[in-house]
């Protein structure tokens, strides 16, 4: 096994006293020689960290000892080298910016589908009720270029704040379909799924754990290319090994 453990995790939970929390977390990360980025906001936490296995899992144990973070789940991958240059903890207004205050995942999640169940639907081409399944990529355009699900729909957006307007414009087009939204680790879909429900799109699901969890549990089935990640590894193959953009199988799949 490669020596460096990489994790991606998030949790929507109400947080206060962020400066003090930042100080404590930074002390714990530095003591364990971890590197990466943590975003702290009033609506929750988002983190990408890497380090030696015992040290990183020790940090997660420490974090989960706080009842606010007890439900935090992490996606894991491995690398030969440390993919981050420094340890940063940033205070933000949202852990993923959407500019729609009414969308609060902590108050109730959108419907979700597990990777294994999604593979079953994609193998068949329909959901359990016989409705056609459309995969909806909620990521930014440059991320989609690295890879995405076969025949996935995306809106060529440059930032996530553009998603609400884009999906609203295509609401009628998708009315008779079951829509499964997905992103890198699931965080954007926590909000996109709720927004779709808010505008009356009843048959929508989010892929639990995002592309990274799908790679971990399913592999490459129905997926083309690699998945962009926010560290120096640049992109991960379906076997969770890193690959450069030049070597990846890029697919440009746009709304018709």
User: Tell me: the pLDDT tens digits for 137-146?
Assistant: 999 999 999 9
pLDDT digits (tens, 9 = 90+) for 58-105: 999 999 999 999 999 999 999 999 999 999 999 999 999 999 988 989
Q: Mean pLDDT, the chain, as a whole number?
A: 93
Of the candidates 87, 120, 102, 125, the one whose C-alpha atom is nearest the C-alpha of residue 43 is 102
Average of per-residue pLDDT across 37-63: 97
Structure tokens at 247: 């070597």
Q: Tell me the backbone φ, ψ of residue 88, rounded to 5 degrees.
A: -125, 135
* Active-site annotation holder among 29, 183, 189, 227: 183
Residue 196: count other Cβ atoms within 10 Å of its Cβ.
27
Q: What is the pTM of this model?
A: 0.87
Output the CA angle 73-78-82, nearest 5 degrees. Answer: 105
What does the pLDDT read at residue 171?
96
Compute the distance between CA of residue 107 and CA of residue 192 in angstroms, rounded to an integer: 15
- Residue 29 annotated to the active site: no
What does the pLDDT read at residue 250?
43
Average of per-residue pLDDT across 221-226: 98
Average of per-residue pLDDT across 9-33: 97
Contact 12, 110 (CB under 8 A): no
Of the candidates 5, 84, 79, the one whose C-alpha atom is nearest the C-alpha of residue 37 is 84
């Amino acid at each position: 096994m490669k020596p460096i453990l990489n994790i991606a995790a998030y949790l929507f939970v109400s947080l206060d006293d962020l400066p003090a929390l930042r100080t404590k977390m930074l002390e714990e990360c530095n003591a364990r020689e971890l590197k990466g980025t943590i975003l702290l906001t009033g609506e929750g936490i988002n983190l990408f960290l890497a380090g030696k296995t015992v040290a990183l899992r020790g940090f997660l144990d420490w974090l989960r000892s706080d009842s606010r973070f007890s439900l935090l789940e992490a996606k894991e991958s491995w690398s030969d080298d440390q993919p981050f240059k420094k340890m940063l903890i940033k205070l933000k207004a949202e852990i993923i910016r959407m500019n729609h205050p009414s969308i609060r995942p902590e108050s109730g999640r959108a419907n979700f589908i597990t990777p294994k169940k999604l593979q079953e639907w994609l193998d068949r081409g329909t959901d359990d009720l016989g409705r056609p399944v459309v995969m909806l990529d909620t990521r930014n355009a440059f991320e989609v270029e690295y890879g995405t699900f076969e025949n996935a729909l995306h809106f060529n957006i440059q930032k996530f704040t553009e998603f609400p307007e884009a999906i609203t414009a295509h609401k009628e087009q998708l009315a008779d379909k079951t829509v499964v939204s997905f992103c890198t680790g699931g965080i954007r879909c926590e909000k996109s799924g709720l927004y779709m429900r808010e505008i009356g799109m009843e048959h929508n699901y989010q892929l639990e754990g995002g592309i990274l969890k799908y790679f971990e549990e399913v592999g490459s089935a129905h997926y083309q290319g690699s998945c962009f990640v926010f560290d120096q590894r640049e992109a991960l193959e379906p076997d969770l090994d890193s690959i450069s953009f030049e070597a990846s199988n890029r697919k440009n799949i746009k709304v018709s």
